[in-house]
Amino acid sequence: MNCSASRHKVLDAAEYRHYSEAVITPVSLESRAAENLRYIRETIERANTFTAVPGWGGLWMGVTSIAAGVLASRQADFSGWLLIWLAEASVALTIGIVALRLKARATGQVLWSRPARKFALAFAPPVAAAGVLTVALWRAGAGAVIPGTWLALYGVAVMGAGAFSVPAVPTMGVGFLVLGCIALLLPSFGNLALICGFGVMHIVFGLIITRRHGG
């Protein structure tokens, strides 16, 4: 048997026919090219994900928020209540920044990378709006809706920034937004809603992020 006859015998056999077709058809070239483009797109998406979200930081922010909520509920006047929550906001911000730096350093990531900048740019505007609205609502004597406003706008900030981060982050944002809407409709539960959101939800999602995304 010569070499050519042998090749025909192999490639014409029914069990190998699909192989020879797969090798030579233009459709396989197209699918490989499409697969390469899909791989490039998925890699770019992964490279654009901000993964230095600090789970431990969220957990400690939750713990201090519960303490602040308990302390605030014992205040006789609104000014005392507001002062405690504003102090808690500064404490939580400090914890967040320190935890972010520690996680970025531990995982060898660039802290001010493009995904981190996008995360910060999406997060900052709703939080700034919450700050301005706090002053406006306080001056208008509508302090009862401040907790709902804080929770809803923080939820919007976390949802928006979460688009550039791990899936747990936007999910947490949805939770805050829902809680904020409830607090806006039932203002008498405002302080409790703040404890549930900034306290319990931060602890739960902090633990999830710590377990799934390395601290």
Partner 1 sequence: MAKANAARNSPGAAPHVPSRNAEQPDRLIHEHVRLGMMSALAANDALTFVDIRNILQTTDGNISVHARKLEQAGYIRCTKSFQDRVPRTEFALTAAGRRALNRYLDHMEALIRAVRDR
Interface residue with partner 1 among 1, 44, 132, 140 (CB under 8 A) is 44
Does 165 sit near partner 1 (CB under 8 A)?
no
24 binds partner 1 (CB under 8 A): no
Site map (CB under 8 A) of partner 1, residues 118-157, x = contact? ----------------------------------------
| Least spacing, CB of residue 40 vs partner 1, in Å | 4
Of the pair 37, 142, the CB lying nearest partner 1 is at 37
- Residue 21 as a binder of partner 1 (CB under 8 A): the answer is no
- Classify burial at 82, counting beta carbons within 10 Å of its beta carbon; exposed 0-12, middle 13-18, buried 19 or more: middle
- Name which position in 7, 114, 211, 212 contacts partner 1 (CB under 8 A): 114
Q: Which stretch binds partner 1 (CB under 8 A): 7-15, 23-31, 83-91, 163-171?
A: 23-31
Does 26 sit near partner 1 (CB under 8 A)? Answer: yes
Site for partner 1 in 189-208 (CB under 8 A): none
Q: Which of these segments, 11-19, 28-36, 59-67, 70-78, binds partner 1 (CB under 8 A)?
A: 28-36
Give the phi and the psi of residue 48 in degrees, each rounded to 5: -95, 5
What Å distances lie between residue 2 and 9, 10, 32, 101, 163, CA to CA? 11, 13, 35, 71, 63
Residues that bind partner 1 (CB under 8 A): 26-27, 29-30, 33-34, 36-37, 39-40, 43-44, 46-48, 51, 105, 107-110, 113-115
